[in-house]
A and B are shown apart, each in its own frame.
Chain A
Amino acid sequence: MAERVSALAGHYSIGHAGTAGETGVSLCDMHGLILHQVAAWPATLVAVGEKAAREAAVEAAPGPGRAAVGKRGALLRIEPLKWWMFGAAAPALSAEEGATLDLSHSRTHLRIEGPQAASLINRHLPIDLRETAFPVGTVAASVLHHVGVTLWRSQDGFELFLPRGFALSLWEVLLEGAAQFGAEVL
């Protein structure tokens, strides 16, 4: 099988960048994303949510703006009638139930963590990332340097999904801003 090539390939230097002796943020290209969209119709929302929850092994499908993490995958509620299944395949749905779609190659998945992670993201995203407003398990659609992106706060940090074609350009602008905090590219 051919190898998947990251949008950042050839432009991604592992190691420390910016202010020496400090690591305010770490950034990682989580290459090899598996992402499927699970979409329901208004009348099948609950049933499809249950199916998706079973597939991911989570208790219940998350509501708007929330994510739920299970043994097999995570579910992110990204639109009123749509979830993203992260890290696992979509459940089989008939057209009467809904529609599924493989989006694994459509996004570049960055993980940003560290004490200054929220500060770095707020250099661009105009959303309130304070713990009280954006706790672990929150999902939001927002804008990064004019480009629509999806942000999810997981146990591991901020998971940022960038449209693949813009990923390198956004990576460059993110890394430029991260240098002041001391950045570790993993």
Chain B
Amino acid sequence: MSARRLTDGGRIDRSQTLRFTWDERGLSGHPGDTLASALLASGERLLGRSFKYHRPRGVMSAGVEESGALVTLGRAARRDPNVKATTQELFEGLAAAGQNAWPNVRYDLGAVNGLLSRFFVAGFYYKTFMGVPPFEWGRGTGMWMRYEKLIRRAAGMGTASRAPDPDRYEHAHDFCDLLVVGAGPAGLAAARVAAEAGLDVLLVEQDFELGGNLLNQPHDPAATGHARELAAVAAAGVRIMTRTTAFGLYDHGVAGLLERVTEHLANPSPHLPRQRFWTVRARHTILATGALERHVAFGDNDRPGVMSVTAARSYLNRFAVLPGESVIVATNNDSAYAAALELARAGAAVTLLDARDTVPEPLSTAAADEGIVVHTNTAPLQAQGARSVDALRTAVADGTGWRTGATFDCDFVAVSGGWSPVVHLHSHRGARPVWNAALACFLPGECGEPLHVAGAAAGIWDEQACETSGRAAAAAAAAALGKSVPSVSAPPAGGWSAPIRPLYEVRVAGQKLKSFVDVQNDVTAEDVRLAHREGYVSVEHLKRYTTLGMATDQGKMGNVIGLALMAEALGKEIAEVGTTTFRPPYTPVSLGALAGRGKGSHFRPLRRTPMHDWNLAHGATMTEAGLWQRPWFFARDRESLAQAYVREASTVRTSVGLCDVTSLGKIAVQGPDATEFLNRVYTNPFAKLPIGKARYGIMLRDDGIVMDDGTTWRLSETDYFMTTTTAHAAKVMVWLEELLQTRWPDLRVHVTSVSEQWAGTAVAGPESRAVLAACVIDPHVLTDESLPFMGVVETRLTGGIPCRIARISFSGELAFEVYVPADYGPAMMDLLWDIAEPLGGCLYGLEALGALRIEKGHVTGAELDGRVSIDDAGLGKMAAGNKHYIGSALRKRPALVREDRPRLVGVFPRDRSQTFNAGALLCRAEQVAGHGDGWITAVTHSPALGHWIGLGFMVGGHAAWSGKPVVAADPVRAGNVEVEIVSPHMYDPSGARMHG
């Protein structure tokens, strides 16, 4: 016999039918169903195979604590494993399938593991496959390495899709005065009271309906109490989020929420994200997270047809599914009686086992009135039946232990072993839960934060008391937030008419049983005792050795039983054994939600220059320079990268080239003390830089190592325009701000990043002056007399575009950098290109820029890698001896002034037809070993020299290696190449071309 749908009642909408598939078979349910309730109503019992033993499993709960009905949802790229059927809302077209089974969950070949289960105890794999005696004695873990893949495939949960996730996710922030987690009786009352007191309240509920345990009670559509309460909550202005889980609490009132936006929809809007990851900042938080009903460890307590009493009640009352006709309700506390009565009223034959020796009035009378036979001092011992339960062996109390009792035929067993308040979120704040022996549960401990716990989460069992505690928590929060509200005294924990009889495991001496403590992780009571015998007695070790409470379960179901069994084995009280730390997330959070929109092209923000589209339209292939998109090369007629950059570099040396240099960092340095500031920051003197001139400058770090280089242009007495490298723009800006704010607050200087304000182009080559002269309104300002090398001029381009021009050169040719306000960038390029193109000029990219600067021995980030002193870079003459500047003291450390430090050098292949790679080590020819005497930082084909060249660092500098044979060692790539060490200034060392 199996479950069946009742003809009336429940909170489902029978007027609509939803079709779905289970293992490719068509079934149906109704709006308001979960996948679990629809499967039960369709007569499905066996829904899963367990993690390790492949045991048959069915629905065991009606919520997030589910350990049995873990299924795979969706198909292809949307295949989502380990979905709890008990929380998945049913929708039209839903496709679900069993997992961890082959060929399917009903006939699973992996079930052979169950027959061998006496071997598969805790630690089995480690004991068996690591250092297998006698083959691997003292020889490591070879067999484990070989079989690990197979073992991991045999054990496990479902498998995720390997296709890219087609869904969208997003992040969101929200703020509120009061966050209420959980919309049961306590949460609803708290939210309403707080909102009526004038607080901005956010109420989050993981279910798709508000009500919590109220939803599990008999549903009478005519009774409108619940609906009235919900209307009052909404009318009070409470902001309500359903299908939203508060998965973690963090510092300063920050809560992490996961909202499932479209997972219940058959045809979601393409504009909606599948999930939202919320960061909520609340001034106060009320946790009304309820409690989870525990099971009891007894033989085969994981058989389909065994579930918690509250789940049975939920399926009966909320989903109108009678889970069995012949029902046994086993309990050790009062809470199971209501469900037993309701099951009996719905037509089931109900037998009640109560582990206690007496049943309190009025429960006993009520049970008798419904024809329920109550057996006191009785508990379940072993479920019988192959794929689902068909009988229950019982045990009868015998002193402090148990002896075998009667066996009852049944088709359904509902178990209540007591209640565990959901203290997870509270624990996230570092508050250890406190064991309450009288209620046999952990209660939330002291926290010291604006955090309140209400309702069953605080161990309050009575519904009215839960509401009162919600009101009390709300009043406390409102008062703390400055609202005048009458205070409400919070009711104490508890609320049963007779005490619970603590019951964690039922066993009879001499009987071997498979009694599950943690059903999801296949951990049995024997495993816990084995862990104890082998010395894993700390709860943290117990968890790691047995996997108790691990993974998505996070100890919701089995933890307390595991602790109780360990306490028993140790002869201690549970309070002395302690509890493991609950960590976020409370329920799983998908990786997609963590990533939000930050994937694909939005993995990082792209930074484009104002000429980005102009460059693309003119044939640029782009590359990344940090976040910047920069032209790499401009191929013509299907040129390769190598062909293109060699042509571009040659064109710059013979005619003219244009290069987008907008990405250079640009900083306005302004104020009466700007000159003094620059003089302290740069190694070389800036005190006497004339207006209208630029100077190349080097900055050191405090420790004397080079930080960055660039040019600074003096625009007026108190106004400078500094450029930095692309890579270090932000770092330099932050550094200058730090200096002004912390070391020299007396200097009247403002620094402002103007990197985005100005678009820049390098115009380089013998024809550069001619090109530029044709584009400015007053060409005479560009003559060699008006604008000598390092001269600066502010003027306008044709069309009135304001511009700044400096005659500076990175390429070693006659060259200018031209800057215009960014919105005019494309217009500047049009003007320059209209002149440069007919002159045989070119557009050049980063690759040609690199070739030109390597020929000249100009350093960049590849050389200035945070280890290089100013002398190492060959720029020691730029360090002034007669002033103090950042790094001036520590650059003279003995280690930084040694003659044998690696110094910047040029590198030629001895055989000029050969090439070598950046990253190769430079070794003296007679000792090609170890780290060598230097390394290569940059390489290129030199169009000017006609062969391959490189820059690098070599101990003692190039003079020390003149005429000596050196090898560029590159053992794992190109092999070894004989090279010569030469001056880094490999082309036009006198600079005649750029001065000319």
Residues on A close to B: CB < 8 A? 1-7, 9-10, 18-19, 37, 39, 41, 81-82, 95-96, 99, 101-107, 119, 122-130, 132-133, 145-147, 163-166, 168-170, 172-173, 176-177, 179-180
- Whether B718 sits at the interface, judged by CB under 8 Å, is yes
A1 and B799 contact, CB distance less than 8 A: yes
- Whether B174 sits at the interface, judged by CB under 8 Å, is yes
B756 and A180 contact, CB distance less than 8 A: no
Contacts of B174 in A (CB 8 A): 122
Tell me which of B602, B672, B821, B824 contacts A95 (CB under 8 A).
Answer: B672
In the bound complex, what is the Cα–Cα distance between A123 and B855 (angstroms)? 49
- Whether B750 sits at the interface, judged by CB under 8 Å, is yes
Contacts of A176 in B (CB 8 A): 168, 597, 602
- Whether B273 sits at the interface, judged by CB under 8 Å, is yes
A99 and B670 contact, CB distance less than 8 A: yes
Q: Which of B475-483, B605-613, B883-891, B921-929 lies at the binding interface?
A: B605-613
Shortest beta-carbon distance from A65 to chain B in Å? 16
Contacts of A1 in B (CB 8 A): 799-801
Contacts of A169 in B (CB 8 A): 602, 605-608
In the bound complex, what is the Cα–Cα distance between A186 and B28 (angstroms)? 47
5 closest A-B pairs by beta carbon, nearest first, are A4-B823, A99-B670, A106-B757, A179-B271, A105-B822
In the bound complex, what is the Cα–Cα distance between A7 and B171 (angstroms)? 26
Closest to A147 in B: B605
Contact with A along B158-179 (1 / 0, CB 8 A): 0000000000101111110000
In the bound complex, what is the Cα–Cα distance between A56 and B168 (angstroms)? 45
Shortest beta-carbon distance from A103 to chain B in Å? 6
B826 and A5 contact, CB distance less than 8 A: yes
- Whether B269 sits at the interface, judged by CB under 8 Å, is yes
Contacts of B92 in A (CB 8 A): none
A165 and B823 contact, CB distance less than 8 A: no
B655-670 contacts to A, CB under 8 A, are 662, 668, 670
Tell me which of B281, B601, B671 contacts A99 (CB under 8 A).
Answer: B671
Shortest beta-carbon distance from A124 to chain B in Å? 7
B821 and A104 contact, CB distance less than 8 A: yes
B271 and A124 contact, CB distance less than 8 A: no
B827 and A3 contact, CB distance less than 8 A: yes
Given contacts A99-B670, A105-B821, A130-B175, whether A165 and B607 have CB atoms under 8 Å apart is yes
A2 and B602 contact, CB distance less than 8 A: no
Contacts of B250 in A (CB 8 A): none
Contact with A along B709-720 (1 / 0, CB 8 A): 000000001110
Q: Could you say which interface size class chain B belongs to?
A: 35 or more
Shortest beta-carbon distance from B421 to chain A in Å? 32
Contacts of B602 in A (CB 8 A): 145, 169, 172-173, 176
B756 and A106 contact, CB distance less than 8 A: yes
A145 and B598 contact, CB distance less than 8 A: yes
Shortest beta-carbon distance from A170 to chain B in Å? 6
17 contacts between A and B (CB under 8 A): A1-B801, A2-B799, A5-B824, A7-B610, A41-B671, A102-B821, A103-B754, A104-B757, A106-B756, A123-B173, A125-B173, A126-B279, A127-B173, A129-B175, A165-B608, A166-B606, A180-B271
Contacts of B608 in A (CB 8 A): 7, 165, 168-169
In the bound complex, what is the Cα–Cα distance between A133 and B177 (angstroms)? 11
Tell me which of A2, A130, A132, A165 contacts B824 (CB under 8 A).
Answer: A2
Residues on B close to A: CB < 8 A? 168, 170-175, 200, 269, 271-273, 279, 281, 597-598, 601-602, 604-610, 613, 627-628, 662, 668, 670-672, 717-719, 748, 750, 752, 754-758, 797, 799-801, 821-827
Contacts beyond the supplied A165-B662, A169-B607, A177-B597: 17 A-B pairs with Cβ under 8 Å? A2-B797, A2-B801, A3-B827, A4-B824, A5-B610, A5-B826, A5-B827, A7-B822, A19-B269, A81-B750, A95-B671, A106-B757, A123-B172, A124-B171, A145-B602, A163-B756, A164-B756
Tell me which of B175, B597, B610 contacts A133 (CB under 8 A).
Answer: B175
B671 and A166 contact, CB distance less than 8 A: no
In the bound complex, what is the Cα–Cα distance between A102 and B755 (angstroms)? 12
A95 and B717 contact, CB distance less than 8 A: yes
Contacts of B200 in A (CB 8 A): 130, 132
Chain A contact residues, majority secondary structure: loop
In the bound complex, what is the Cα–Cα distance between A113 and B822 (angstroms)? 27
In the bound complex, what is the Cα–Cα distance between A123 and B278 (angstroms)? 9
Tell me which of A37, A122, A147, A166 contacts B752 (CB under 8 A).
Answer: A37
Tell me which of A5, A82, A105, A123 contacts B170 (CB under 8 A).
Answer: A123
Given contacts A18-B271, A105-B757, A165-B607, whether A96 and B823 have CB atoms under 8 Å apart is no
Contacts of A6 in B (CB 8 A): 823
Closest to B606 in A: A169
In the bound complex, what is the Cα–Cα distance between A179 and B273 (angstroms)? 10
In the bound complex, what is the Cα–Cα distance between A173 and B597 (angstroms)? 8
In the bound complex, what is the Cα–Cα distance between A163 and B269 (angstroms)? 32
A95 and B718 contact, CB distance less than 8 A: yes
Shortest beta-carbon distance from B253 to chain A in Å? 12
Closest to A178 in B: B271
In the bound complex, what is the Cα–Cα distance between A179 and B272 (angstroms)? 8
A19 and B271 contact, CB distance less than 8 A: yes
Shortest beta-carbon distance from B525 to chain A in Å? 47
Contacts of A7 in B (CB 8 A): 608, 610, 822
A99 and B823 contact, CB distance less than 8 A: no
Closest to A99 in B: B670
Contacts of B173 in A (CB 8 A): 122-127
Contacts of B827 in A (CB 8 A): 2-3, 5
In the bound complex, what is the Cα–Cα distance between A41 and B670 (angstroms)? 11
In the bound complex, what is the Cα–Cα distance between A165 and B612 (angstroms)? 10
Shortest beta-carbon distance from A184 to chain B in Å? 14
In the bound complex, what is the Cα–Cα distance between A37 and B601 (angstroms)? 33
In the bound complex, what is the Cα–Cα distance between A149 and B166 (angstroms)? 30
Contacts of B269 in A (CB 8 A): 19, 180
Closest to A108 in B: B756
Point out which of B269, B605, B607 has the most chain A C-beta atoms below 10 A from its C-beta.
B605
Contacts of A107 in B (CB 8 A): 756
Point out which of A103, A122, A165 has the most chain B C-beta atoms below 10 A from its C-beta.
A165
In the bound complex, what is the Cα–Cα distance between A10 and B170 (angstroms)? 26
B605 and A2 contact, CB distance less than 8 A: no
A170 and B605 contact, CB distance less than 8 A: yes
A145 and B605 contact, CB distance less than 8 A: yes
In the bound complex, what is the Cα–Cα distance between A155 and B670 (angstroms)? 33
Shortest beta-carbon distance from A138 to chain B in Å? 14
Shortest beta-carbon distance from A45 to chain B in Å? 12
In the bound complex, what is the Cα–Cα distance between A130 and B279 (angstroms)? 15
Shortest beta-carbon distance from B797 to chain A in Å? 8
In the bound complex, what is the Cα–Cα distance between A125 and B281 (angstroms)? 13
A128 and B800 contact, CB distance less than 8 A: no
Closest to B601 in A: A172
Closest to B824 in A: A2
Shortest beta-carbon distance from A94 to chain B in Å? 9
Contacts of B271 in A (CB 8 A): 18-19, 179-180
Contacts of A125 in B (CB 8 A): 173
Contacts of A10 in B (CB 8 A): 613
A122 and B172 contact, CB distance less than 8 A: yes
A5 and B825 contact, CB distance less than 8 A: yes
Contacts of B717 in A (CB 8 A): 95
B757 and A102 contact, CB distance less than 8 A: yes
Closest to B757 in A: A106
In the bound complex, what is the Cα–Cα distance between A126 and B608 (angstroms)? 25
Shortest beta-carbon distance from B599 to chain A in Å? 11
In the bound complex, what is the Cα–Cα distance between A3 and B820 (angstroms)? 13
Closest to B172 in A: A123
Closest to A10 in B: B613
B609 and A165 contact, CB distance less than 8 A: yes
Closest to A146 in B: B605
In the bound complex, what is the Cα–Cα distance between A5 and B269 (angstroms)? 35
Contacts of B597 in A (CB 8 A): 145, 173, 176-177
Contacts of B613 in A (CB 8 A): 9-10
Given contacts A123-B170, A169-B608, whether A128 and B757 have CB atoms under 8 Å apart is no
Contacts of A164 in B (CB 8 A): 610, 756-757, 822
Contacts of B171 in A (CB 8 A): 123-124
